[in-house]
Structure 1
Amino acid sequence: MKQVVAYIFVAVAAVGCASSGKVSSLLFSPSDDRKLGEQVSQEIESNPQEYPILSQSQYPKAYQYLNSMKDAILKSNDIDYLQEFAWELKIIDNDEVLNAFCTPGGYIYVYTGLIKYLENADDLAGVMGHEIAHADRRHSIKQMEKQYGLSILMSIALGNDPSQLAQIVAQLAGTGAILKFSRSDEAEADEFSVKYLADTKYACNGAASFFEKLIKEGQTGGTPEFLSTHPSPSSRVSDINKTASAEACSTKTVNEVGMNYADFKASLPK
């Protein structure tokens, strides 16, 4: 049975902020977000057994496709930290994990399991938009400020606390204790996924497709923790579609020219 990691589409509890305007953390600066994200990225790449990252030189077509999707989303006028954050993307080769996550500072990771589970580009763009919102709205860094405190978090960002760094990686990747997420930030990440995609060729309500697929399949093999501890998928689908209506953006499935989603999946390891 494939593992549905609770971190998919989960937003982090944070200090209250509005759904518009640039987000500021109480203590960390955006440059500190990036420093922490860089440390997380280095920790992930130092552990290929747990996080087997596909080589860009060996899978250039897969990376070209996914980076094109990422770049399209980042062109949205609603991205606050386009220049400040790294926005680097890596694919983790694990078909048993249905997950994607984005570290503070914009280091994006997508599992092959999620890519193969989803059925079209709009679905994955919706997931990626949501994860980008976690970083750009600074949800995770705010929760980490509460959980670790400024001095410890700064030490981790500077690479001086490897044991705590490993714990943060496990939390972000969904392989350990999951960060506790608020419903308001969950809703904000859904909202901004729609806003980001409204400026692209992808269906702006693509984030709803993941939930629709889970509903359709009836969560065979047991109910994932994600579904048992957060608002129902049907509510999320409804709210995402309401946002799409309010934004008056296209919900039509993307018409891909050249490499399509099926080609992209076929370009990954079997």
Structure 2
Amino acid sequence: MFRRTFSRLYLLGALTLSLGFATSSCTDENGNPVLFSIEDDKTLGDQVAHQTDSTYQAQGQLLLRTDPRNARAYQLLDAVVNRVLNSGQLQYRNEFPWDVKIIKDDATQNAFATPGGHIYVFTGLIKYLDDESQLAGVLGHEIAHADRRHTSRQLQNQYGINLLLSVVLGENPSQLVQIATGLGELKFSRDFEKEADQYSVVYLNGTGYYACDGAAGFFIKAQNEGQANPPEFLSTHPNPDNRIQAIQTKADELNCRNRQVNSSGLQELKSLL
């Protein structure tokens, strides 16, 4: 008990010192505050992912990697994710664990990522998409939220650093449940969304494979189908009009917009789900 209390006081004291001296360790390259260390990101992400896994597994919705029936589906999805992760453009490719899990829910068209790079994608989103560049674009957007540490910073804004540190130290299990439950509905700032869109283009360009405006393809599809029942992704990632243009402009700058991609893997994945 003394050791845990001392650790918490040490962390809070270190945080206070870092804030007091405004050192570069508490800001990113753009000068935005990042109060968590990379290790804190990983620890919080592992805890949230464990809680998320438990919740969806209890509901019978988590497709387990250990189940042989899911092996081919994960092989196909991993191929998309790994192309993005290995694009050479991620800041924390080697620091974060990075994995992806499928949630069986055809009625939900969404995806989200924890701090530290644990990605969740709903079957409803996978089945909604038309080509593999769209899937890579949406996943690239979520990877950017983790890699640019948007999720940590948004959680800090929402819950406060003291509460999050208590979760990291395992002292607040009820709050961990609340964070895990609400992560899929976490609403990012306009700046975070814009940056995630831009990095999705950068990541897909780095693959040398995908049309790097893939995320725009998702927004265009949702927009063309009207707003009667918009995908859940739009409720936490709004303003598709401006975003489509910004994504396409960035893709034009990189000259990677018109790549033709074989989407047979996506079609097979959809059939398996």
Query: Contact 1:25–1:138 (CA<8 Å) still a contact in 2?
Result: no
| Distance across 2 between alignment mates of 1:53 and 1:260 | 21
Match of 2:39 among 20, 24, 31: 31
Q: How far did 1:27 drift?
A: 1.8
Partner of 2:154: 143
Question: Structure 1's 109 and 224: CA in aligned 2 closer, same or farther, altered over 3 A?
Answer: closer
SS for the counterpart of 1:101 is strand
Q: What amino acid is the match of 1:36?
A: L
- Deviation larger for 117-126 or 149-158: 149-158
| Distance across 1 between alignment mates of 2:156 and 2:223 | 35
Partner of 2:181: 170
The answer on 1:89 being equivalent to 2:104 is no
| Distance across 2 between alignment mates of 1:224 and 1:205 | 19
Alignment of 1:209-224 (within 5 A): 209-221=217-229
| Distance across 2 between alignment mates of 1:60 and 1:167 | 31
Query: Contact 1:44–1:51 (CA<8 Å) still a contact in 2?
Result: no
Larger radius of gyration: 2
Query: Contact 1:45–1:51 (CA<8 Å) still a contact in 2?
Result: no
Q: How far did 1:197 drift?
A: 0.1
Q: What amino acid is the match of 2:222?
A: L
Partner of 1:188: 195
Q: How far did 1:246 drift?
A: 1.1
Task: Give me the CA root mean square deviation.
Answer: 2.4
Q: Number of aligned pairs?
A: 244
Alignment of 1:123-142 (within 5 A): 123-142=134-153
| Distance across 1 between alignment mates of 2:121 and 2:96 | 18
Match of 1:42 among 38, 47, 50: 50
Q: How far did 1:183 drift?
A: 1.1
| Distance across 2 between alignment mates of 1:127 and 1:229 | 13
Q: How far did 1:77 drift?
A: 2.3
Q: Which runs of 5+ in 2 are unaligned?
A: 1-25
More helix by share: 2
Q: Which runs of 5+ in 1 are unaligned?
A: 1-14
Percent identity reads 46
The answer on 1:232 being equivalent to 2:236 is no
Match of 2:216 among 201, 205, 208: 208
Partner of 2:168: 157
Partner of 2:63: 54
Q: What amino acid is the match of 1:35?
A: T
Q: How far did 1:147 drift?
A: 2.5
| Distance across 1 between alignment mates of 2:130 and 2:97 | 28
| Distance across 2 between alignment mates of 1:225 and 1:264 | 21
Q: What amino acid is the match of 2:241?
A: S
Q: What amino acid is the match of 2:140?
A: G
Q: What amino acid is the match of 1:242?
A: T
Tell me the TM-score normalized by structure 1: 0.83
Q: How far did 1:250 drift?
A: 4.0
Q: How far did 1:51 drift?
A: 6.9
| Distance across 1 between alignment mates of 2:235 and 2:81 | 30
The answer on 1:68 being equivalent to 2:79 is yes
- Deviation larger for 147-156 or 194-203: 147-156
- Deviation larger for 230-239 or 60-69: 230-239
Query: Contact 2:51–2:177 (CA<8 Å) still a contact in 1?
Result: yes
Question: Structure 1's 230 and 106: CA in aligned 2 closer, same or farther, altered over 3 A?
Answer: closer
Q: What amino acid is the match of 1:55?
A: L
Q: What amino acid is the match of 2:53?
A: E
Question: Structure 1's 226 and 87: CA in aligned 2 closer, same or farther, altered over 3 A?
Answer: closer
Q: How far did 1:224 drift?
A: 6.7
Tell me the TM-score normalized by structure 2: 0.82
